[in-house]
């Protein structure tokens, strides 16, 4: 087994992109994940302003902390929001 150069042995850093956090809004708790521009490759409809989120736009994805009844996974309930629209949400 060949030894790899030491730079390959660095411990994996936690990714800044893609981390999820929890936010409480008027209608409950949400898991919020930040989508950086390079990962925004599709057009989504923002439920806050009903405008498209174009590819290359950093934005957030939110889904309910608790699974919605009838849904197999809360991830299926995820919605893409403009970061500003989400932060304006009560």
Report the C-alpha gap between 90 and 83 in whole angstroms. Answer: 13
Q: How far is the CB of 59 from Zn ion (least distance, A)?
A: 8
CB atoms within 10 A of CB 46: 20
Report the C-alpha gap between 8 and 24 in whole angstroms. Answer: 39
DSSP 38-71: GG--S-EE-TTT--EE-TT--EEEEEESSPPTT-
Q: Given candidates 17, 49, 54, 75, which one binds Zn ion under the rule CB under 5 A?
A: 49
Using the minimum distance from each CB to Zn ion, give the nearer residue, 54 or 71: 54
Q: Does 48 bind Zn ion (CB under 5 A)?
A: yes
Q: Does 82 bind Zn ion (CB under 5 A)?
A: yes
Using the minimum distance from each CB to Zn ion, give the nearer residue, 55 or 71: 55
**Stretches 4-12, 29-37, 60-68, 80-88: which one binds Zn ion (CB under 5 A)?**
80-88
Q: Binding residues for Zn ion, per CB under 5 A?
A: 46, 48-49, 82, 85
């Amino acid at each position: 087994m060949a030894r790899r150069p030491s730079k390959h042995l660095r411990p994996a850093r936690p990714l800044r992109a893609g981390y999820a956090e929890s936010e409480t809004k008027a209608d409950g708790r949400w898991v919020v994940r930040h989508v950086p521009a390079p990962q925004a490759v599709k057009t989504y409809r923002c439920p806050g302003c009903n405008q498209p989120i174009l590819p290359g736009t950093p934005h957030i994805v939110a889904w309910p902390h608790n699974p919605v009844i009838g849904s197999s996974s809360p991830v299926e309930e995820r919605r893409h929001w403009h970061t500003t629209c989400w932060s304006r949400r009560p």
